Copies of this chain bind each other. A is one copy, B any other.
Amino acid sequence: MRLLTLARDLQRRKARERQGLFVAEGIRTVEELLAAPLRPRGAVVSDALDATPRGVALRERIAAAGIPLLEVTARDFATAADTDAPQGVLMVAEQPVLALDALRERLPASDVRLLVLDGVQDPGNVGTILRSAAGLGAAAVVALPGTVDLWSAKVVRSAMGAQFRLSTVGDTVEALDAFLAAERIVLWGADGAGAPVGALASTAPDRLAVAVGNEGAGLSAALRGRAAGLVAVPSTGLVESLNVAVAASILLYELRPASLRRPA
């Protein structure tokens, strides 16, 4: 049962950070994890997994890969599950350890796009943002303090595997500062009072980081002060703001690298 106890323990952020592990739950998420270059530690399954051919196939793939597999009752599974109606499969895996220093080697030579999360707190929003960042050509996502843990079960689930392939880093504002300066990356901040992003897209810096802030409060004073410019998604007065995942995605889209601008 040690794997079950571990999975249960990893429901806490502190335990995830201390151990450098996370839990992926559900058929789709575990499938994505198996296809990604991350290192699994073990899987916990219950009878519920056998309810569909896809679940049965997944169980066989886990076994064939030589990954430790623990069978538990549905009741025991529920104690480690994050969902109300578990599909009967979860996998513990190692978080890809990545400091800003290591990120340096992974940046493309040109047309660099980074996304900075400055206190984004809703796990569903952050998962959606990671999916957009991977899909819209961001080289990495940097989570600053105050942002929800990128490896929480809810973020992992709503990212739908995106973060298994995307570089993600958690670090301080000071470390980000030093990194951007050393890499000559310009920082822009998202703010409703900023310049409309559409007019700036064609003249955006080749190496650019875009920061989005908290759902209610927006960018922190620290980030606002550091940003070389503020950009906005133009909107009618009918709503106070767009959802932060939507705003971040529109900015990433409008500022996307040239590889996504060529006709398909």
Q: Using CB atoms and an 8 Å cutoff, list the residues of chain A in contact with chain B.
A: 124, 128, 131-132, 134-137, 160-162, 165-166, 195-196, 198-199, 232-236, 238-243, 245-246, 249-250, 253-254, 256, 259-261, 263-264
Q: A124-B124, A128-B246, A243-B249 are in contact. List 14 more A-B contacts (CB 8 A).
A: A131-B239, A134-B236, A135-B241, A160-B240, A161-B239, A162-B238, A165-B238, A235-B260, A236-B260, A242-B249, A243-B245, A250-B250, A250-B253, A253-B254
Let me know if B162 and A239 touch, CB within 8 A. Answer: yes
Contacts of A246 in B (CB 8 A): 128, 131-132, 245-246, 249
| Copies of this chain in the oligomer | 2
Let me know if B233 and A253 touch, CB within 8 A. Answer: yes
Let me know if B196 and A235 touch, CB within 8 A. Answer: no
Question: In the complex, A195→B264 CA distance in Å?
Answer: 7
**Nearest-CB distance from A111 to chain B (Å)?**
13
Contacts of A240 in B (CB 8 A): 160
Let me know if A131 and B260 touch, CB within 8 A. Answer: no
Name the residue on B nearest A124 (C-beta).
Answer: B124
Question: In the complex, A234→B136 CA distance in Å?
Answer: 8
**Nearest-CB distance from A66 to chain B (Å)?**
27
Name the residue on B nearest A161 (C-beta).
Answer: B239
**Nearest-CB distance from A160 to chain B (Å)?**
7
Most chain B C-beta atoms within 10 Å of own C-beta, residue among A195, A246, A256: A246
Name the residue on B nearest A198 (C-beta).
Answer: B261
**Nearest-CB distance from A21 to chain B (Å)?**
23
